[in-house]
Structure 1
């Protein structure tokens, strides 16, 4: 365990680069075409990125939770591999998987692993192979809120379930008061926001509620929101904007979207103290994940009810979904080169500064080996 801990800390620190600016990337056919570069594909003298034979345009879609990470990676990668243009549209996990199984993108990002029927559909695109899940980005699902005068807030799974099921409707409710005896909770209507699109973030958030508050959350879960009431918005950026602009609002989003003064909830778990939504605390929980995929698939089973001190229970892992065999010849070199970079120590080293958690060393080592064998 000490060695694993050392490796995780090393992954957090190695190659950390301050991420400045944001590269806005959208899919082909939209107004903004990010990541476009020209020139040869030889890596610069100061870069460890191996461009190989990578060239041309790489289209991808999927998880909006990882888009800030993808933007940071693309900025570094295309600075070295100047013959590659990468366009990632963060249209949500559902949209990404659909685009992948229809053969529209080279790879997709999803905050949930492929379902059996999606694997079956992928075999039509991956000639002689199938789609596989490569865990690449981790992080906490922050619960952001906008309650004037309340700078610190503790909630547990049961209370969150009742809030997002519209059973607790006011911020001075006795259940919230019991968890926050020192807070000046206002007589203010709660405005819960959920995702309008099919989302792996929704899937992971509701898996947490199902696991930690089964008596309060009676829904099946999945990428589509099922509870009644509340307001909806498109993508992680949409729900984050809803919280920022609406007094009384609360929503779930990847931590990198909970910025610009937004306050996040501390989650009460089985540990003695409530746990903050931080990269480090998410890594503690993700380190308990188990690989449950078979063959080259590296799908993980997360622990949504950790009791270890400082382990944040509301986490997600974003997978890059790609064909293990049967990738298109014109995109395979760029796909392998880019995925190799983002799984490298340098690529994973960017994540902490961007608000994400690197994959534990024992998991990312398997990812690197799998990428090297893509064909």
Structure 2
């Protein structure tokens, strides 16, 4: 990984990019802290300066919304977010090039080992939870139903046409055409890909033998960069199918996924339920609230293909002004006001009280080092 010598409080000019348009989670453990962060964009003391973040494209709409609300209350503050993808966001954060990051997958052990000493302790918590839709473009088919095994075969290229017996068996009475199936995947390192392949590997392991990865492991099909690229590819191609944050697939068909004995489509409420059933990853730092999502859930009304998108930050910044600005902005993103704004704009589910308490504990640990 390329390192930079920039301080955690400094924003290189090349990285001070403005936000462009391009998903809250809950750990099942309370932190035990009684401290709390500001519940609004402004707590009465205006902050100033510029900070930059980069990462998950799934957070783009939420970050745009948070930026607008926060800067409206703090006119001397500027928050930039570059939606370059989770992998790029983690790299820039670990290199000290950004003050915070966004990632659809939590930091791996080998990445945690690369956190600079100047960062203090790494902060990591779910800020945005959203279903990953299985989006498709198939004229005349409005309510496609799929199970994990059939979906895995589609994405591996083993099912070639839409009237395949495996699809027909799940969609009785639906007139499925003899159109070619074209699976679409991300060609950049992506937390969305890692969450999707985690689901396939957990629920259809006999078919999807590859381990979860942020890099698509199967050859063939079509590829596209970023969430928008995948959506655009599916939109342009009859018979195309792929995976993308549900906030950006409203104009496409969204498959219903078999959970237990029923089928569930993507929704914020259904996604939030599986997060509440998931557990905190053991053996990590006191301000690290990463969770392992329970993919093989069988409860009715739960959608299993979800991502918990994280905020990455540090407990130490080089000067008080930067520390105050980072702390204020992150406090706003997890506040009821900020979470409602993101839910209204992006269709995410507001994080639970337990997740908010955990995030607040981590944010309150931020100081100048």
**TM-score of the alignment, normalized to the shorter chain, above 0.5:** yes
1:290 partnered with 2:275: no
Partners of 2:268 and 2:126 in 1: how far apart? 16
1:112 aligns with 2:105: yes
- 1:360 corresponds to which of 332, 352, 355: 352
Post-superposition offset of 1:66: 1.1
Tell me whether 1:314 sits opposite 2:299 in the alignment: no
Match of 2:257 in 1: 267
Q: Residue in 2 aligned with 1:278?
A: 267
Deviates more, 1:351-360 or 1:158-167: 351-360
The partner residue of 1:213 within 191, 204, 227 is: 204
Greater relative contact order (Cα < 8 A, sep 6+)? 2
Normalised to the residue count of structure 2, the TM-score between the two structures is 0.86
Q: Displacement of 1:262 after TM fit?
A: 1.1
Aligned partners of 1:48 and 1:119: how far apart in 2? 30
Residue number in structure 1 paired with 2:18: 33
Kept in 2: contact 1:132–1:321 (CA 8 A): yes
Alignment of 1:179 onto 2:164? no
The 3-state SS of whatever aligns with 2:57 is coil
Counterpart of 2:62?
Answer: 69
Residues 75-86 of structure 1 aligned to structure 2 (within 5 Å): 75-86=68-79
Cα deviation for residue 252 of structure 1 reads 0.6
Q: Which runs of 4+ in 1 moved over 2 A?
A: 27-35, 47-54, 324-331
Going from structure 1 to structure 2, the CA distance change for 1:123 and 1:57 (only over 3 Å counts) comes to: same
Alignment size in residue pairs: 334
The equivalent of 1:323 in structure 2 is 314
The aligned residue for residue 95 of structure 1 is 88
Q: Deviations over 1:195-225 (max 9, x none)?
A: 1110000000000001000000011221111
**3-state DSSP of counterpart to 1:285:** helix
Q: Deviations over 1:349-372 (max 9, x none)?
A: 123322112222112111112111
CA distance in 1 between partners of 2:318 and 2:312 (Å): 12
Over 3 Å counting, the alpha-carbon distance change for 1:210 and 1:34 in structure 2 is: closer
Scaled by the length of structure 1, what TM-score is found?
A: 0.85
After superposition, the Cα gap between the structure-2 partners of 1:242 and 1:338, relative to the gap in structure 1 and judged at 3 Å, is same
Residues 97-133 of structure 1: per-residue CA shift (max 9 Å, x gap): 000011110000001111112111112451xx23231
3-state SS of paired residue (2:332):
helix
3-state DSSP class of the match of 1:237?
helix
Instruction: Please say which of residues 286-295 and 89-98 is displaced more in the overlay.
Output: 286-295
Cα gap change, 1:267/1:169 in structure 2, threshold over 3 Å: closer, same or farther? same
Q: Alignment partner of 1:320: what SS?
A: strand
The offset of 1:329, in angstroms, is: 4.3
> 2: distance between equivalents of 1:28 and 1:139?
32
Alignment partner, residue 198 of structure 1: 189
Q: What is the Cα-based RMSD across aligned positions, in Å?
A: 1.8
Per-residue Cα deviation, 1:157-212 (whole angstroms, up to 9, x for no partner):
11111111111121111100000011111111111111111000000000000100
Q: Which residue of 1 aligns with 2:141?
A: 150
Question: Cα distance 1:48–1:195, how it changes in 2: closer, same or farther (>3 A)?
Answer: closer
- Runs of 5+ consecutive residues of structure 2 not aligned to the other structure: 1-11, 21-39
1:40-96 CA-to-partner distances (Å, cap 9, x unmatched) read xxxxxxx65227452111111000111111111111111111111111011000000
Query: Which structure 1 segments of 5+ residues have no match?
Result: 1-26, 36-46
User: Is the Cα contact below 8 Å between 2:61 and 2:342 reproduced in 1?
Assistant: no
Which residue of 2 is the match for residue 243 of structure 1? 234
* Comparing 285-294 and 152-161, the one that deviates more: 285-294
Q: Which residue of 1 aligns with 2:363?
A: 371
**SS of aligned partner of 1:108:** strand
